[in-house]
Structure 1
Amino acid sequence: MRCTVFGTGYLGATHAVGMAELGHDVVGIDIDPGKVAKLAGGDVPFYEPGLRELLRRNIDAGRLRFSTDYAEAAEHADVHFLGVGTPQKKGEYGADLRHVYAVIDALVPLLRRPAVIVGKSTVPVGTAAELGERARRLADVAVEVAWNPEFLREGYAVHDTLHPDRIVLGVQRDSRLAEDAVRALYAPMLEVGVPFLLTDLQTAELVKVSANAFLATKISFINAISEVCEAVDADVTLLADALGYDARIGRRFLNAGLGFGGGCLPKDIRAFMARAGELGANHALTFLREVDSINMRRRTKMVELATRACGGSLLGANVAVLGAAFKPESDDVRDSPALNVAGLLQLNGAAVTVYDPKAMENSRRLFPTLTYSTSAAEACDRADAVLVLTEWAEFVDLDPEGLAPLVRAKVVVDGRNCLDAARWRAAGWRVHALGRAD
């Protein structure tokens, strides 16, 4: 089948590659000529394991190309995926939907055959219905708007695109065109038993933000418990292990530490709160304000822990920060707790040296005043404290005995509770961690 994908950022580029990998003829559309040229040349403008290889394979096979031409997109296919960004508005909690509406306004008047526009972006509930009305006013042909939320995890996006744990599709009442088109596009997944959930538009829109709100709540819950653990010298990691054996709770996302960040979770729960307020249901989501507050408080707690680890003052201390991306297997530093903490440490007088396997370029653009290293060993040279703030495997597997001769003080602060504390202590290191006794 033929399809287009509007937006070639993280979501759009990954989805376009995924659709081509499933055997479809795909055109990725973006208004940024530089981004289009880079992707057309087989290069991904962000880091995602395995994506570049699939991109090049499908370009070479003739199944995937990129363009800035909306007219080409309208002529190419009758199914158009909408994967543009919905960032948080400046100075507000709500989502900025300008890019979403811009695609509808530019594409729909160019359509000459009945078409389906399938939303992938995370949007406030009610947006799809509004887009459907807008499309009907602009169209000379029948246009259906459906919503197929994405559930991509950065670092696992290729797997999540090709092997999703469910497919959710919200459609307009009495619609068949959108359902038939999406079922045909996803046929290889449906044939192997991936669950297909057909809903109304508003339910589909709520699925993604509800999932994100739940995950954020679970993370902030264990981080709140971690503060209680610190007050009584309990061990939050062992506590989480014990909770995780309860099938009703589960162990995943019960990892106390620096908290969540990135370009999705924080802005999505804030937009969810804002939309609930607009709908008169603001009291239903007031708990998310505390979820957000707990998460942001972790960054201050990490600075306090680092200060204590450095003897009560950061002034003049050499601090190595290992990790800048908001999570491992990503170069995304949007709202990164690790990079935020690095900046706060510097503001409190520390000389901060940062190393991350993939996020160095993005980090330099965001925090140009920090010092950056080319390796973990170089970052740790003459350090008074080593902070592990992103749980990359190479940091988790660091040899404490091999690192010891490089540092000025054998002090490690585990911001993700990912290190083998016993191993580090056996090598003579003082280990500090959120929610655990020093």
Structure 2
Amino acid sequence: MKVSVIGCGYLGAVHAASMAEMGHEVVGVDVDERKVAALREAKAPFYEPGFEELLARTLATGRLRFSTDIADASGSVLHFVCVGTPQKRGEYAADMHFVEAAVESLLQVLTPGDLVVGKSTVPVGTAAQLADMVAEKVPGALLVWNPEFLREGFAVQDTLHPDRLVYGLPEGPDGEVAERMLDEVYAPIVARGTPKVTTDYATAEMVKTAANSFLATKISFINAMAELCEATGADVKLLADAIGYDDRIGRKFLNAGLGFGGGCLPKDIRAFMARAGELGADQALTFLREVDNINMRRRIRMVELAREVCDGSLLGKRVAVLGAAFKPDSDDIRDSPALNVAAQLQLQGAVVRVTDPAAVDNSRRQWPQLDYADTAEEAAERADAVLVLTEWTQYRELDPVAFGKVVAQKRVLDGRNALDREAWTAAGWTYRALGRRSG
């Protein structure tokens, strides 16, 4: 099939290359000339394992190309809308400017029988409004909502081998036509028996925000337990292990620590609350405000813990921060807890050096006031304390004996409960972590 992908950021670029990998003829369209130029050269404008190889392979087939001109989407029968919905400045609500602009630009090239496929995370009610706009301007063109469920670090796998497909369809015969077209574009995925949920617009729009809200709640729950563990002397890691054996609960997302960040969970739960308020159902989601508050308190507590470890004052103390991305296997620093903590430490007088395997360049651009190092050893040279704030494999696998020869004081704060506490304490380190006894 001939396919266009509008918006070639993280979601759109991966989706475009994946559609080409499935055998479709794909054009990716974006207004950012530098991004398009990089993609044309098979250079990924972000860090994502496996993506650059996929990009090079699909470009070489001739089935994938990129453009800054919406006219190049003409002739495609499916048009995926993959633009961002950031949080509005000074508000909880999502900024819909990019989604609306993308659909308006598509109206120039849409023809009857085309299918607009929304993948962006949007407030409930958006799809119905956009469907009316499309139907009014291009009778015979249809709109569906097909939310994405990508995990950064696993985006290629999650696109080519998703755990489910969700189709938000119009009612009646139009819905049947749209479903057939989606089944065709996702034919290899459908053929594997991947679970598929066909539903109305509103339910499809809510699936992503509901899923993210549940995950955020689970993370904040275990972090609330970590607060209690610190007050009682209990151990949150053992607590999580014990309750995680209950298959109704499960162990995933029960790793207490610095909390969540990134471009999805924080802004999605806030937008969900804002939309519920607009619909007069704000009381249904008041718990998410506390989920958000617990998450933000983790950052404050990490700074307090660093101060405690540094004998009650951060002034003039050398602190190494290992990790800048909000999660491993990513260079995404949006709402990064690690960088937020690093900046707070610096404001309180610490001499902070930050390192990350992938996110240093992005961090330098967004947080130029911080000092950066290329390696963990360079960041930790003569450090009074080491904070592990992103659980990269490289940091999990550090040799505490060898690493101890670099620092001035063997004091480590495990912000992600990612290290082997026994190995580090055996090597002479003072070990502290959120929700766990000191070692």
Q: RMSD across aligned C-alpha pairs, in angstroms?
A: 0.7
**1:41-83 CA deviation, whole Å, 9 max, x = no partner?**
11110000000000010000111000112122022x1110000
What is the Cα deviation at residue 316 of structure 1?
0.4
Counterpart Cα distance in 1 of 2:111 and 2:149: 32
**1:273-314 CA deviation, whole Å, 9 max, x = no partner?**
000000010000000000000000100000000110111100
Q: Report the counterpart of residue 92 of structure 1 in structure 2.
A: 91
Residue aligned with 1:146, SS: strand
- 2:302 paired with 1:292: no
Q: Report the counterpart of residue 157 of structure 2 in structure 1.
A: 159
Residue aligned with 1:117, SS: strand
Q: Report the counterpart of residue 403 of structure 1 in structure 2.
A: 403
User: What letter is aligned with 1:348?
Assistant: Q
What is the Cα deviation at residue 109 of structure 1?
3.3
Q: Report the counterpart of residue 70 of structure 2 in structure 1.
A: 70
**1:248-269 CA deviation, whole Å, 9 max, x = no partner?**
0000000000000000110000
Q: Report the counterpart of residue 27 of structure 1 in structure 2.
A: 27
Residue aligned with 2:256, SS: coil
Count of aligned positions: 436
Q: Please say if residues 3 and 26 of structure 2, whose CA atoms lie closer than 8 Å, have aligned partners that are also in contact.
A: yes
Q: Please say if residues 78 and 113 of structure 1, whose CA atoms lie closer than 8 Å, have aligned partners that are also in contact.
A: no
What is the Cα deviation at residue 106 of structure 1?
1.4
User: What letter is aligned with 2:88?
Assistant: K
Q: Report the counterpart of residue 112 of structure 1 in structure 2.
A: 111
- 2:145 paired with 1:150: no
Q: Report the counterpart of residue 380 of structure 1 in structure 2.
A: 380
User: What letter is aligned with 1:135?
Assistant: V
Q: Report the counterpart of residue 11 of structure 2 in structure 1.
A: 11
Q: Report the counterpart of residue 306 of structure 2 in structure 1.
A: 306
Residue aligned with 1:151, SS: coil
Counterpart Cα distance in 1 of 2:338 and 2:18: 30
What is the Cα deviation at residue 110 of structure 1?
2.6
Counterpart Cα distance in 1 of 2:292 and 2:188: 39
Residue aligned with 1:71, SS: helix
What is the Cα deviation at residue 107 of structure 1?
1.2
Q: Report the counterpart of residue 195 of structure 1 in structure 2.
A: 195
Counterpart Cα distance in 2 of 1:206 and 1:431: 42
Counterpart Cα distance in 2 of 1:192 and 1:142: 31
Residue aligned with 1:150, SS: coil
Q: Report the counterpart of residue 135 of structure 1 in structure 2.
A: 134
Q: Please say if residues 4 and 81 of structure 1, whose CA atoms lie closer than 8 Å, have aligned partners that are also in contact.
A: yes
Counterpart Cα distance in 1 of 2:182 and 2:367: 42
Q: How does 1:37-436 map to 2 (within 5 A)?
A: 37-75=37-75, 77-139=76-138, 141-174=139-172, 175-436=175-436
Q: Please say if residues 12 and 82 of structure 2, whose CA atoms lie closer than 8 Å, have aligned partners that are also in contact.
A: yes
Query: Unpaired segments of 5 or more residues in structure 2?
Result: none
Counterpart Cα distance in 1 of 2:37 and 2:397: 38
User: What letter is aligned with 1:63?
Assistant: R
Identity %: 62
**1:382-424 CA deviation, whole Å, 9 max, x = no partner?**
0000000000001001011001111100000000001000100
User: What letter is aligned with 2:166?
Assistant: V
